[in-house]
Amino acid sequence: MTVVITPVGTSLFTNGSETNNQIQTGFSRIEDKPMSEWDSNTRYINQLKIESEKFIREQGISASAELQSTAVIRDKTEDNIIVYLLASDTITSRLAAEILRDQLNDPNHVLGKNVTAHFDPDNDVIDSLQVNNTVSFSREGMPKLFQRINYIKEWEAGGSQNLAINITGGYGATLPYLTIFAQLEGVPLYYNFENQEELITIPQVPLVIDSSLIETHAGVLAKIADHMDDPTRWRAFKNQNEQAVRKLNAFIWENDDLGAELSPMGNIFWNDYLKSHFIVKLPSSMNRVAIDEVIRELYGRLNNALRPNYLTPVSCYERLRVLGHNDDLNHTGQVSGQDIFIFKSTDHGQVRLMYSFVVNGQTITQLTIFDSHGHMDKEGYRVWKQKFEIPPEINFETYTYDIS
């Protein structure tokens, strides 16, 4: 099975508008409206849905760029395909994704039974992924897009080898970043010219990433990744780290009124770096008693996040994964492929702990905290190189806490 991530644009409606006046009228009413206005536009949404479904039945795969390109990908891969549709933060993109999902999952749909589709508006409409606000697009939209793509890659496709990205539809502004991401991850990119049978495959080039720049300035990047929302603090930090900030310019988004954080490009390379490195911060004043306080904070935060529906251990890990990589319980993202997370303390200063946990019934019965040997006496972020293909206990001291 091949998982094909497919950003969804509005070609279904623009194509339909050429011959169907009702599609044209409905589309013009909601074309530029954000997802937040969905409920107040149900009249036009329902009208557009009915007419667009009729248009697909009449035109077949040529009705939209997503259908046409998926048909060509199906023929090229000769494999069963599940299409993960991702929508931007607009009414029209979500509506197009819902229509395409329903059409692809119809037993009689034009692409046949070996193609199915997935689209869940709660997870697959990417908040702030819209070009009307470039600040939100960079600060929130792009990170959330790659968070969702990474989740699909790790937990639905089972890795890059079973994944492809179809860039035929969707927002053009995302294409440079999707291309870089795909090259780093070894994921094929497909592009199909509409109404053509030829599929362009963007090949994998033998990239060797020189991580020395990130390695040298990992502490600086880690602090920027935490979001410097105070402009005054950012200016002071920038002055103190002038040379590093200048070298890392492409990785940093900054604003005179909002401070600084990682740019979309910075997020891509930083997350790639984190796959083989673990970043943590322990203040020099922190001892085991203080760490125990942070662990108690972690335990309380976990309970609040997982209750009242603990369900199964698998569902608990799923709950943390979908929180997002800037949530305190899943800070900077999960250790790839394992149920191990990073916790950011909010009550005890700038502290990061790497942890896992065990759930039995509806109770957390065990917390495991990973820590490096003898490295708790130096202020600042610590970079621990560790390929997480083997249990991290190999290079980390482990403290296990049984909860009574």
The pLDDT value recorded for residue 280 is 59
Q: For 113-217, where are the alpha helices, taking DSSP H only?
A: 121-124, 134-136, 142-155, 175-185, 212-216
Q: Which residues of 52-84 are buried (b: 16+ CB within 10 A; e: fewer)?
A: bbebbeebebebbbbbbbbbbbbeebeeebbbb
Token couple for 309: 């529906």
Going by their DSSP bridges, the two strands 252-255 and 259-262 should be labelled as antiparallel
The pLDDT value recorded for residue 317 is 81
Condensed to tens digits (0 to 9), the pLDDT of residues 14-31 reads 999 999 999 999 999 999
Residue-range domain boundaries for the chain: 2-202, 209-274, 279-404
pLDDT exceeds cutoff 60 at 395: no
Burial class (CB in 10 A: 0-12, 13-18, 19+), 51: buried
CATH value of 2-202 in 3.40.50.10770, 3.20.20.70, 3.40.50.150, 3.30.450.30:
3.40.50.10770
Helix (H) or strand (E) holding 367: strand 363-371
The pLDDT value recorded for residue 279 is 58
Token couple for 59: 């035109």
The pLDDT value recorded for residue 376 is 35
pLDDT exceeds cutoff 70 at 3: yes
CA separation (Å) from 22 to 9, 18, 31, 384?
19, 10, 14, 59
* Spatial CA neighbour of 37 closest among 95, 86, 84, 85: 95
Q: Give the Cα separation of 136 and 90 in Å (integer).
A: 14
The pLDDT value recorded for residue 207 is 64
| Residue 278 half-sphere exposure toward CB, CA atoms < 13 A | 23
Token couple for 4: 């094909």
166 neighbors 190 (Cβ within 8 angstroms) = yes
Burial class (CB in 10 A: 0-12, 13-18, 19+), 370: buried
Read off the pLDDT band of 96 (50, 70, 90): very high
pTM of the model: 0.78
The pLDDT value recorded for residue 118 is 97
The pLDDT value recorded for residue 380 is 46
The pLDDT value recorded for residue 210 is 66
Sheet strand arrangement including 352-360: 341-344, 352-360, 363-371, 397-402
Mean pLDDT value across the chain: 82
- Unique residue bearing structure tokens 């900030």: 245
